[in-house]
């Protein structure tokens, strides 16, 4: 469920860039947050494969938060996180 949520936000990033046409500063921030999110997602998958489920969950939730921040930088209103905080 958390992976699907993170993936859903990731799919919104190119749409936000195309449709909202954020300013260059916002695009830079969006790209940086997206890269951080991808790194955290990769770490989450590694930790899960190693059996560290709780750590994996923390990483994937953080990855989702970075994507929410990226989308906010582009001007998209993003719903607040649900469930247990990381």
Q: Is the pLDDT of residue 66 over 50?
A: yes
Q: Is the pLDDT of residue 86 over 50?
A: no
pLDDT classification of 83: cutoffs 50, 70, 90: low
52: left (phi over 0), alpha (psi -120 to 50) or beta: beta
Residue reference for tokens 């859903």 = 8
Rounded to whole angstroms, the Cα distance separating 47 from 43 reads 6
The pLDDT assigned to 42 comes to: 97
pLDDT classification of 81: cutoffs 50, 70, 90: low
The pLDDT assigned to 10 comes to: 96
């Amino acid at each position: 469920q958390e992976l699907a949520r993170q993936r859903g936000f990731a799919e919104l990033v190119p749409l936000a860039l195309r449709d909202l046409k954020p300013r260059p500063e916002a695009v830079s921030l969006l790209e940086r947050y997206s890269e951080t999110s991808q790194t955290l997602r990769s770490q989450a998958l590694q930790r899960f494969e190693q059996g560290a489920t709780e750590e994996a969950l923390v990483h994937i939730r953080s990855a989702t938060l970075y994507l929410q921040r990226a989308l906010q930088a582009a001007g998209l209103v993003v719903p607040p996180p649900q469930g247990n905080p990381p």
